[in-house]
Amino acid sequence: MHITGRPAPPTGLRRLLFRAPVHLYRLRLGRLLGGRFLLLHHIGRVSGKLRQVVVEVVEHDRVTGAYIVCSGFGPRADWYRNLLAAPDVTIQVGARVLPVTAHPLGADEGAEFMARYAPRHPRAARRLCRFMGFAVDGSEADYRAVGRELPFVRLTPRGTGH
């Protein structure tokens, strides 16, 4: 794995396209995205205003109810920085709304999650890596290396005893 150049967060038309899934949730059509994506309601660290972003679910632990997500734009993504500042947030998966607490994961945990994600979604993993500025050969070692470079977050349900 090598870094070919990290993308800047989207602006203009690209940002509008990236925000389209948020509008699906607002129209109560989030179920169309299935369990592979979730709507994250978070608080702006500067503005204090409610913000929303749709992120891909890397993994869902059906025992604890926790969701693992990753910031493809790295640690400078606003939603990621907002979670670090105010980790008690709400997520929506389909029509289900859950209060959760965000826990940043270490690089080794990120490597494990990326290594498990890639074989489940091989084409998506390759495209996402390329989009995020990583050249990978498709090996588990390369995906682990990418996982060490990106910030992963565990969203753990509150009030469930987990």
Give the orientation angle of helix 107-120 with respect to helix 140-149, to 10 degrees: 130
Least confident piece of the model among 7-16, 70-79, 98-107, 127-136? 7-16
The position carrying tokens 């008690």 is 88
pLDDT of residue 21: 77
pTM score: 0.86
Determine the Cα–Cα distance for residues 46 and 25; give it in Å rounded to an integer. 25
* pLDDT of res. 8: 63
83, 91 Cβ separation under 8 angstroms: no
Mean pLDDT (the chain) is 88
Among the ranges given (37-46, 101-110, 151-160), the one the predictor scored with the smallest mean pLDDT: 151-160
Give the pairing type, strands 88-93 and 37-43. Answer: antiparallel
Least confident of 11-15, 56-60, 114-118, 148-152: 11-15
Q: Which residue type, as a one-letter code, is found at position 113?
A: F
pLDDT of residue 41: 96
- Domain range annotation of the chain: 2-157
Q: In the predicted model, is pLDDT for residue 159 greater than 90?
A: no
The tens digit of pLDDT for each residue in 32-48 reads 777 789 999 999 999 99
pLDDT reading at 99 higher than 80? yes
Q: Give percent of the chain above pLDDT 70.
A: 86
Q: What is the residue-wise DSSP string for 35-66?
A: GGEEEEEEE-TTT--EEEEEEEEEEE-TTT--
pLDDT at 37: 92
> Is the CATH number of domain 2-157 2.30.110.10?
yes
pLDDT digits (tens, 9 = 90+) for 130-143: 888 888 999 999 99
